[in-house]
Amino acid sequence: MTLARRAAVRAARRPVTLAAAVCAIALIAPVASADPLRLRADALASTASPAGLLVLDTEAAVRAGVSAEAVVWMANAHAPGEASTGDVLVVAVRARMRRADARVGRFVATLGALRPEHVDGGGVRVQLPRRIDAEFVAGVPVVAGGMAWGWVVGSRLSRRIGDGGSVGIAYAQRRDDGMLAREELGLDAGAALGVRGDAAARVAYDLANPGLAEVALTASYRRRGLRGEAYAIHREASHLLPATSLFSVIGDVPSQRAGTVVTWRAAPRLDVIGDAGLRLVGGDAGAELTLRARLRLDDRGRSMLSGELRRSGVGEDMWTGARGAARIALPHALAVTTELELVVPDADRGRGAAWPWALAALAWDGGAWQAAVAVEASASPEYRGRVDVLGQLGRRWGR
Amino acid sequence: MTRASLALACIALAACAGVLGLRRSSLPEVFPHRAHVVAGVSCTRCHAGVDVPGPALHLPDDAVCTSCHTRPHDTRSCAGCHASRTAVAELVEARAHLRFDHARHAGATRGNCMRCHDAVAGDAARLRPPMATCFRCHDEARDARKCETCHRDLADEGALPASHLAHDGDWIREHGARAASSGDLCATCHDRESFCASCHGRTAPVLPAATRFGDPQRQSLHRAGFAARHALEARSDPGACTTCHAPDRCASCHTAKGVAGDGRGTPHGAGWVGPTASENRHGREARRDPASCAACHGGAGEKLCVTCHAVGGVGGNPHPPGWSSRQPLTAMPCRMCHPTGAAR
């Protein structure tokens, strides 16, 4: 089948998929009499593209142990980078039994250390004896604006450790047009180490083009108001591309990042967070430094001030930035918020020496109804100066 | 630091004590439970009816207090000063979100409240037993991860896990490693499919949940002026974008905005391709972040590479040393150079 033919078929299927999801929402509502139906509608309007976005989000317990949910979005203009004006994000039915749960529909499948995959299909998780869990997922990979011509299957076997940890092994294979596009093996482990420490690790190995795809390690320790965390990430971008890409052949430069994050509750209402790390990409090295402070102006944190200084990037892509944000709660469920950010790139390359960005918003949370209006102003490599107005209106039904 | 600046810092700290939450004298004090227990006052004398099922909170009113404290020192309500407001709020929340019945536990504990509420002995502000106390008896619910045994709705309750999955620090970076091993734990609160899909889904351009501009403290990868700095961030963290976005996302967006590609300009500056090493930045950049190249030159565009990078061509063998693959040579992209399916 030619690419043009496929595109035409995808375009033809899009309204069908969207209509099916809207019908699913309509069907869920009357069936869900056992438990209140939750429905949420959000409308986002902006003077910048996409000019309008409507999101319908519903969830209901169809009967004991069976629940359904759907999220559908529609835009009145083509969103940047997307070919469609509407699509289904999620439409899924989930059933829970005593030692198993199953789901079918469109959802994001997460199998341990492997990358999340958005699929149209089904999955089942079973609790076996000796605290062992088995999980299986199969379906068609979701692509924006239609359906892919391929399939993905995956499985994970894990064993729980203590109250908050487990170790697992996962495998997934994806084929596009019948050809191997991705085959990965993942190992994951995580556990609470006593009441103060914990550690987690994930490793993904590319079996199609043998080599490490991704490794992430993290360990943390907390004591009173202080929490320290060490992390390390190794990623080979070439192995994250479909194996059918030539770039999976020529790319073999890994990127690495390691550092430590310290969170300190300096005062009951003041948190200070520091992140110091090092980034290595293809022979270039760069520091990753962040200092962030957050001050709650009341005990519940309804009003809050925050500030952040950041130094990030690698080689010629390094930049320095500062950001401040405030949220002040007002009477009558109103809140005024403002954010300011200034980014100064090390090498401007004619794109401007500094990129300021600012936003001021007024938000109202009336329980069932929520609304916000904001003015955003910025200067960027794309626009010397730009002002946009954003509006958001949300309504919730049910709990 | 001079004495003057030290003094100034102390004055500033004192002035800000209220804002920082250091000065708490205006708040109600913790109720002296321990003193009452030591004095031999039974729990049910003040919390009468706690062992009877029902929606009541069983908090003592002024009449209960004045039955012993016959001459109160103030005309205001006792609870206004002698009870923590946050404790009362927690009690209300617990009643709304937890499935718990004191009456059913009275028999198992033989009427000894301290068996679960052992924090009373230390006059702690928070008397609700920790989950570990529940697990002393209800270990089956823990092993089966049946949170709904006690919690009606964790998402509405807003309870955060106390240890392993505390959402501190840079949670956006950390959550992947944690969720890999504890995805089912995450699902106890975030059990909706749309929670993961709102970021990792392939179909949505942007959802309001990810752009709550009325809540600037909400963590998000694309907050603030991300549009301006996205190119710097993408090149500094190769492969990160493709966690959520399709590899062709860059090209489709840039084409839609008319910024680059589509024959209307190129993002590559001078020295991108040339006869000498110093004029060949494209090789280094391609190996550093092949995803960014694939954004524009994916699919059929990859022919661009093999026109030079072929055995005997000016670019030489495209495979790095030690290259191996399980893909059949008749599949793309191998057949671009191996049309007969034979290795050369």
Read off the pLDDT of each residue in B199-209 and give the average, rounded to a whole number. 75
Chain A CB contacts of B198 under 8 Å are: 71, 89
Under the banding of pLDDT at 50, 70 and 90, the label for residue B32 is confident
CB pairs under 8 A between A and B: 397
Is the CB of A190 less than 8 angstroms away from the CB of B192?
no
Chain A CB contacts of B310 under 8 Å are: none
Chain B CB contacts of A65 under 8 Å are: none
Smallest Cα–Cα separation from B259: which of A380, A45, A193, A116? A380
Query: CA angle at residue B320 from B314 to B323, to 5 degrees?
Result: 130
* Structural domain span for residue B146: 137-158+184-201
Q: Is the pLDDT of residue A276 over 90?
A: yes
Shortest CB distance from A323 goes to which of B200, B224, B238? B224
Smallest Cα–Cα separation from B188: which of B212, B170, B164, B220? B164
Residue B34 lies in a domain: yes
**Residues B122, B147: one domain?**
no
Residues A109 and A123: beta-carbon distance below 8 Å: yes
Q: Which two tokens stand for residue A102?
A: 């199953």
Classify residue B98 as exposed, middle or buried by CB count within 10 Å of its CB (0-12, 13-18, 19+): middle
pLDDT digits (tens, 9 = 90+) for B227-271: 888 888 888 887 788 777 776 677 777 766 666 544 445 667 667
Shortest CB distance from A202 goes to which of B177, B252, B269? B177
Residues 46-75 of B with CB under 8 A from A: none
Whole-Å CA distances, A133 to A93, A203, A248, B267: 21, 19, 33, 48
Task: Output the furthest CA–CA distance in chain B (Å, rounded).
Answer: 103
Confirm or reject contact between B233 and chain A (CB < 8 A): yes
Residue A360, pLDDT score: 95
Is the CB of B197 less than 8 angstroms away from the CB of A118?
yes
Residue B326 lies in a domain: no
Is the CB of B243 less than 8 angstroms away from the CB of A115?
yes
Residue B163, pLDDT score: 57
Shortest CB distance from A81 goes to which of B205, B236, B288? B205
Is the CB of B170 less than 8 angstroms away from the CB of A275?
yes
Other C-beta atoms closer than 10 Å to the C-beta of A374 total 21
**Residues B117, B32: one domain?**
yes
Residue in chain A nearest B179 by alpha carbon: A112
Shortest CB distance from B197 goes to which of A89, A131, A349? A89
Residue B206 lies in a domain: no
CA of A246 vs chain B CAs: smallest distance (Å): 5
**Residues B192, B284: one domain?**
no
Residue B8, pLDDT score: 83
Is the CB of B197 less than 8 angstroms away from the CB of A90?
yes
Q: Is the pLDDT of residue B36 over 80?
A: yes
Residue B188 lies in a domain: yes
Is the CB of B193 less than 8 angstroms away from the CB of A90?
yes
Q: How far, in Å, CA of B191 to CA of B195, rounded?
A: 8
Q: How far, in Å, CA of B246 to CA of A270, rounded?
A: 39
Read off the pLDDT of each residue in B59-69 and give the average, rounded to a whole number. 87
pLDDT above 90 coverage of chain A, percent: 41
Residue B293 lies in a domain: yes
- Helical ranges in chain A per DSSP H: 3-31, 247-250
Residue A122, pLDDT score: 96
Is the CB of A168 less than 8 angstroms away from the CB of B181?
yes
Is the CB of B208 less than 8 angstroms away from the CB of A251?
no
- ipTM higher than 0.85? no
pLDDT digits (tens, 9 = 90+) for A329-373: 999 899 999 999 999 999 877 778 899 999 999 999 888 899 999
Residue of higher predicted confidence among A101 and B258: A101
Q: Which two tokens stand for residue B124?
A: 């702690």
Q: Is the Cα torsion angle A341, A342, A348, A351 positive or negative in sign?
A: positive
Under the banding of pLDDT at 50, 70 and 90, the label for residue B43 is confident
Q: Write out the E strands in A100-252.
A: 100-109, 117-128, 132-143, 146-147, 150-161, 165-176, 179-193, 197-206, 211-223, 226-236
Q: Is the pLDDT of residue B51 over 80?
A: no
Q: Is the pLDDT of residue B101 over 90?
A: no
Residue A2, pLDDT score: 40
CA of A244 vs chain B CAs: smallest distance (Å): 5
Query: CA angle at residue B86 from B82 to B91, to 5 degrees?
Result: 100
Residue in chain B nearest A142 by alpha carbon: B202
Shortest CB distance from B216 goes to which of A115, A208, A325? A325
Q: Count of domains in chain B?
A: 3
Q: Is the pLDDT of residue B316 over 90?
A: no
CA of A341 vs chain B CAs: smallest distance (Å): 7
Residue B267, pLDDT score: 67
Residue A32, pLDDT score: 46
Residue B263, pLDDT score: 46
DSSP symbol at A276: E
Encoded amino acid at B272, one letter:
W
Chain A CB contacts of B166 under 8 Å are: 222, 227
Other C-beta atoms closer than 10 Å to the C-beta of A306 total 19
CA of A266 vs chain B CAs: smallest distance (Å): 9
pLDDT digits (tens, 9 = 90+) for B124-136: 767 788 777 887 7
Other C-beta atoms closer than 10 Å to the C-beta of B242 total 21
Shortest CB distance from A357 goes to which of B224, B250, B309? B224
CA of A250 vs chain B CAs: smallest distance (Å): 6
Q: Is the pLDDT of residue B164 over 80?
A: no
Q: How far, in Å, CA of B53 to CA of B56, rounded?
A: 8
Mutate to test the interface with A, among B22, B85, B164 (most CBs of A within 10 A): B164
**Residues B263, B196: one domain?**
no
Mutate to test the interface with A, among B194, B211, B223 (most CBs of A within 10 A): B194
Mutate to test the interface with A, among B26, B213, B323 (most CBs of A within 10 A): B213
Is the CB of B232 less than 8 angstroms away from the CB of A382?
no
pLDDT digits (tens, 9 = 90+) for A175-232: 887 878 889 999 999 988 877 888 999 999 988 888 888 999 999 998 888 999 999 9
pLDDT digits (tens, 9 = 90+) for A35-65: 567 888 888 888 876 567 888 888 888 777 8
Q: How far, in Å, CA of B193 to CA of A23, rounded?
A: 18
Q: Is the pLDDT of residue A16 over 60?
A: no
Chain A CB contacts of B185 under 8 Å are: 164
Which residues are within 8 A (CB) of B141 and not within 5 positions of it... i.e. 6 or more apart?
B135, B147, B149, B150
Read off the pLDDT of each residue in A158-175 and give the average, rounded to a whole number. 87
The string of DSSP letters for B259-275 reads SS-TTS--S--TTSS-S
Other C-beta atoms closer than 10 Å to the C-beta of A22 total 17
Is the CB of A201 less than 8 angstroms away from the CB of B177?
yes
Whole-Å CA distances, B43 to B47, B111, B129: 6, 10, 16
Q: Is the pLDDT of residue A1 over 50?
A: no
Residue B278 lies in a domain: yes
Is the CB of B193 less than 8 angstroms away from the CB of A69?
yes
Residue B184, pLDDT score: 76
Is the CB of B208 less than 8 angstroms away from the CB of A208?
no
Confirm or reject contact between B141 and chain A (CB < 8 A): no
Q: How far, in Å, CA of B61 to CA of B67, rounded?
A: 10
Tell which of B86, B109, B129 closes a domain.
B129
Kindly report which listed range (A68-82, B48-62, B203-217, B287-301) carries the lowest average pLDDT score: B287-301
Is the CB of B269 less than 8 angstroms away from the CB of A84?
no
Residues B197 and A71: beta-carbon distance below 8 Å: yes
Residue B323 lies in a domain: no
By DSSP bridging, strand A132-143 and strand A150-161 are antiparallel
Q: Is the pLDDT of residue B287 over 80?
A: no
The string of DSSP letters for B168-196 reads -SSHHHHHHHHHHHHHHHHHHH---HHHH
Please state whether the peptide bond connecting residue A50 to the residue before it is cis, i.e. omega within 30 degrees of 0: yes
CA of A300 vs chain B CAs: smallest distance (Å): 10
Is the CB of B204 less than 8 angstroms away from the CB of A89?
yes
**Residues B33, B111: one domain?**
yes
DSSP H or E segment with residue B125: none
Is the CB of A112 less than 8 angstroms away from the CB of B183?
yes
Read off the pLDDT of each residue in B269-276 and give the average, rounded to a whole number. 72
Residue A321, pLDDT score: 94
Place of tokens 């519940």: A300
Tell me the sheet residues that pair with A304.
Answer: A296, A327
By DSSP bridging, strand A334-345 and strand A355-365 are antiparallel
B2-37 as b/e, with b when 16 or more CB fall inside 10 Å?
Answer: eeeeeeeeeeeeeebeebebeeeeeebebbebeebb
Q: How far, in Å, CA of A94 to CA of A258, rounded?
A: 39
- Mean pLDDT score of chain B, rounded to an integer? 76
**Residues B61, B146: one domain?**
no
pLDDT above 90 coverage of chain B, percent: 0
Under the banding of pLDDT at 50, 70 and 90, the label for residue A5 is very low
CA of A42 vs chain B CAs: smallest distance (Å): 7
Chain A CB contacts of B180 under 8 Å are: 110, 112-113, 168, 186, 188, 190, 200, 202, 216
Under the banding of pLDDT at 50, 70 and 90, the label for residue A114 is very high
Most confident of A196-210, B166-180, B298-312: A196-210
Residue B21 lies in a domain: no
**Residues B106, B46: one domain?**
yes
Residue A278, pLDDT score: 95
Mutate to test the interface with B, among A78, A152, A247 (most CBs of B within 10 A): A247
Residue A218, pLDDT score: 93
Q: How far, in Å, CA of A306 to CA of B87, rounded?
A: 28
